[in-house]
Amino acid sequence: MSEADETEWPPHLDALVAAPANHRLLHEDDEVRVLEVTVQPGERENLHHHRWPSIMVVLARPDYRNFDADGNEIPIWWNADQSGSAAGPAPATAAAARN
């Protein structure tokens, strides 16, 4: 993975560092990073970021919301089959999910 600007993407907010209880590294190499993310009902993750472009695969439709560093809700788009998508062309800023 290429290095990113540490001012824009502080290392202490990397998902594995800032929210280790919710993120488990399954695989990482120079091209891809695969994480398993679990947020239990009633739990709120610590603020963190994913500095590389990401795609989120939801296996069961959770009842959760994402919030940015200022506490503003980040929209999640649900497809007709109830699967969710929070993917975008560029990395998002730091966020925290609440289930």
Domain boundaries, the chain: 11-98
Q: Return the pLDDT at 1.
A: 47
How many helices (H) and strands (E) the chain has is answered by 1, 7
Q: How many beta carbons lie within 10 A of that of residue 8, not counting itself?
A: 10
Question: Which pLDDT score is estimated for 80?
Answer: 53
Q: Are 52 and 3 in contact (CB under 8 A)?
A: no
pLDDT at 87: 44
Low-confidence stretches of the chain (pLDDT < 70) are 1-4, 60-62, 77-99
What pLDDT is stored for residue 4 in this prediction?
56
Q: What does the pLDDT read at residue 92?
A: 53
* Residue 25 to residue 20: CA distance in whole angstroms: 9
